[in-house]
Structure 1
Amino acid sequence: MMRFQGSAMHNERGNKISLRPTPVWAAILLTVLAISPAYSETRGATLVVATADSSEKSKQAADFVADGDGDQEEINLAIESLPEVGGKVQLMEGTYDIKKVSGELGGVLIKRSNVELAGMGQATKLIQAASQETNVIRIIGDNVGNITIRDLYVDANRDENPLGEGDPNVSHGRFEFCGIKAFCARPGGGCDIEHYNITVMNCTILNARRLGIMLEGRNMNVINNTIGNAMSDSVEILNGPGEIRGNYFEITGRT
């Protein structure tokens, strides 16, 4: 019988046994670390993003710190940096300046499955910069699902983005100017497997040039949000099934 005391090992007589590192012990240790959840990607990961006006405490805790100009870069990098099994991107308090990514259909882009994008309620503001004419958050890609967007304040800033008209002859062409949009393809395109299991909850989405929230796919959920001043529908689910529940609709401007 052996027992541990502090960092040493003793036998049943109380005699100290020396444990010198050997290749065998090293191999065993590496094997344990390799299969331990704390050292693997099986539990996903959490990456933290702060911005220019976040508190110093938040900046110190962050994996990425944006500078207040084109903050979608750090947010997108955090999403892309999650392990293969996915995980959570936590946006700390502050105002995030969101600009359109060149050649893309939005500012914040989610092109992969198993992502949670979370804020700190109305303290985490995503504001579309002027003259971007895009979706603030765009989910896109074949067979992309298990996405949760929660606890964010999203302002599509339509007054400074007045040109969101699109091509009325192309499917979805007129609807790439939303607060949050999920559609698997670009306008006029399609995909083999549509989106699935997408939830937007506890968010505030305001001032969209088109829809506040537009989700297309299976099991789409819009729960407990505040949505207002969209120039088209406040919220729309296509295909389904889906659920729209517990939302508050506030109209204080032109729709």
Structure 2
Amino acid sequence: MEDLEGKRILIVDDNNTNLIILKSQLEQWKLLTVVASSANQALDILKSDGSFDLIITDMEMPDMDGVGLATEVQTSANPLSVIMLSSIGDETKKKYPGLFSSILTKPVKKRLLCKSIQQALRDEPEKQGIQKHQNVLDEQFAVEYPLRILVAEDNPINQRLILQILKKLGYTAVMAGNGYEVLDGLKKADYDLILMDIQMPEMDGLEATRRIRQQGIPQPYIIAMTGNAMSEDRNNCLREGMNNYLAKPMKLESIKAMLRNAYLKV
């Protein structure tokens, strides 16, 4: 850890005992720490001080949990790596892939914590450099590739994440929570592009796409959003009339490439 001495870590936990223990451990490794007892307090700290290198947060907190905090951080102007401490680590990894640099199951072993911090901090300079470059490029993206976009996604966290990404690219998208809402939205307005989650309640993305392709309306370009990148799933999407697919977790560059391609096709 010698090469990482002096790095600034924001620790977020509503349990004061946990804060004290984690703060003490990090300071033994000569890391500089600031503590917050809630996600909202952490966000206030980040607004006034942009010099942190890493966030370590608990999962279960009142008002806003670790997932909500990480989503706010990752979609902010200055995203940071976030390590989450959870009593249900494996389940959380599957549900929110790509949101955290690491998810550690409590009680956390010192060796795993050390390894996760080292990995996150050594990746951060490259990540920040890429992000600054992207921010410059992204501001005019929607001007170059204007699209009317409908997003079909039922998970509130994913909804917020996708809308924030599109907003950074200059788009104002409309949200639908299931296939029925997609069909209803198409009655009210024409869309160039639909980002369609496959697994939604009431009516899934495949059935919604089938119905859209059967209608005599201006046909939108449809991109599937799926957590399963197996070739069989991709083929199912294309067979039902979707034009392309994005595997979750979705990377910014992949989204931009898809939007460019959609613009050229509509």
Give the TM-score normalised by structure 2.
0.30
Give the TM-score normalised by structure 1.
0.31
Higher helix share: 2
Higher strand share: 1
Q: Which is greater in Rg?
A: 1
